[in-house]
């Protein structure tokens, strides 16, 4: 009887959420990923007109969700960066929005939107001379970021802390967008409760479905924050920092801020021209989104950041 009541309550909750807000829906994910991973975006290489076009698209989507800018009328924050082994200066930009509460603290939810263009650098098939559209890496993460922004904009009453949503650029070259965000003073970094980073969430394996929670074992609080056990869709695999410079949440960790990465991991399409919209598992994304909503809700119920303890 208890199990029946639980399933009924979950069904009603999901039904109510679907009526209140259009996120998450497969059609919205497909809309965002198809736009960002279209050939016309030419792989969203930092410094190109296509990367700036992608940034404008993301800004407009933030506006649709009713998220507000972190500074007056400013969503886009351009910056320049240079690789240590190059003399070329690249011009890129982060896109930032927030949902405001009465709290002085915030959770930062992030995803990078840049990719590797035609694959001259960083490609696993460097001689292909094809556009690397980066549907999974990381249009999928941006789609989920925007979906979460839309969902929480209609559930503000559940928030104890602000949520700052950031679409980073310059990630593929060395996490430059995340580094710029923390040093820029856009927000007070001492008031960040944690970072939840989304990178490649569109390839949930149908035969062995695993959601990676990288760096979840670095702080014992994640054990009580992440929904316990497994569900009918995927297994959550917790780990430490597998790749120190591999994803934006590592920049937060280096600054002493608890960070976690959610990802479905590397696949045969990683940094290849085959990473197209048609390869995305949309139902898997919906299931992951619900898991992340539950995780963020659990963070919102906790006390402040000083309670985090690194293992």
Q: Does the domain formed by 23-307 have CATH 3.40.50.450?
A: no
Can you tell me the mean pLDDT for 6-33? 58
> What is the distance between the alpha carbons of residues 279 and 293, in angstroms, rounded to a whole number?
24
The domain locations on the chain are 23-307
> What is the distance between the alpha carbons of residues 74 and 296, in angstroms, rounded to a whole number?
25
Residue 230: per-residue pLDDT = 59
Can you tell me the mean pLDDT for 67-79? 95
State the pTM of this model.
Answer: 0.90
The pLDDT-based confidence of 275 (bands split at 50, 70, 90) is very high
Residue 65: per-residue pLDDT = 94
Q: How far is CA 299 from the centre of its chain?
A: 16
Residue 3: per-residue pLDDT = 39
The pLDDT-based confidence of 306 (bands split at 50, 70, 90) is low
Is it the case that residue 223 has pLDDT exceeding 80? yes
Residue 181: per-residue pLDDT = 98
Residue 231: per-residue pLDDT = 64
Is it the case that residue 279 has pLDDT exceeding 60? yes
Residue 23: per-residue pLDDT = 65
As a whole-number percent, the residues of the chain with pLDDT over 90 amount to: 76
Residue 6: per-residue pLDDT = 33
Can you tell me the mean pLDDT for 170-175? 95
pLDDT tens for each residue of 100-159: 999 999 999 999 999 999 998 899 998 888 999 999 999 999 999 999 999 999 999 889
Residue 216: per-residue pLDDT = 95
Compute the mean pLDDT over every residue in the chain, rounded to the nearest whole number.
89
Residue 18: per-residue pLDDT = 36
Residue 90: per-residue pLDDT = 87
Residue 12: per-residue pLDDT = 33
């Amino acid at each position: 009887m208890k199990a029946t009541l639980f399933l009924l309550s979950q069904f009603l909750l999901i039904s109510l959420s679907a009526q209140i807000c259009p996120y998450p829906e497969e059609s919205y994910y497909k809309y965002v990923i198809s736009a960002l991973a279209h050939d016309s975006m030419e792989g969203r290489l930092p410094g190109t007109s296509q990367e700036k076009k992608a940034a404008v698209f993301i800004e407009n989507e933030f506006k649709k969700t009713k998220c507000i800018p972190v500074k007056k009328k400013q969503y886009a924050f351009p910056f320049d960066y240079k690789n240590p082994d190059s003399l070329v200066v690249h011009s890129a930009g982060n896109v930032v929005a927030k949902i405001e509460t009465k709290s002085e603290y915030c959770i930062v939810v992030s995803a990078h939107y840049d990719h590797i263009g035609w694959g001259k650098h960083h490609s696993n098939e460097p001689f292909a001379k094809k556009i690397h559209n980066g549907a999974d890496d990381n249009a999928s993460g941006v789609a989920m970021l925007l979906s979460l922004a839309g969902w929480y904009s209609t559930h503000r009453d559940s928030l104890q802390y602000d949520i700052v949503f950031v679409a980073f650029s310059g990630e593929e070259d060395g996490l430059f967008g995340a580094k710029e965000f923390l040093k820029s003073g856009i927000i007070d970094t001492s008031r960040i409760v944690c970072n939840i980073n989304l990178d490649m969430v569109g390839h949930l394996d149908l035969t062995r479905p695993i959601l990676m929670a990288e760096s979840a074992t670095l702080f014992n609080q994640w054990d009580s924050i992440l929904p316990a056990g497994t569900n009918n869709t995927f297994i959550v695999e917790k780990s430490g920092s597998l790749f120190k410079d591999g994803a934006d949440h590592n920049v937060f960790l280096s600054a002493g801020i608890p960070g976690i990465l959610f990802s479905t991991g590397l696949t045969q399409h990683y940094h290849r021209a085959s990473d197209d919209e048609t390869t995305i598992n949309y139902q898997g994304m919906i299931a992951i989104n619900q898991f992340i909503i539950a995780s963020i809700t659990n963070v919102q119920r906790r006390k402040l950041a000083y309670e985090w303890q690194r293992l």
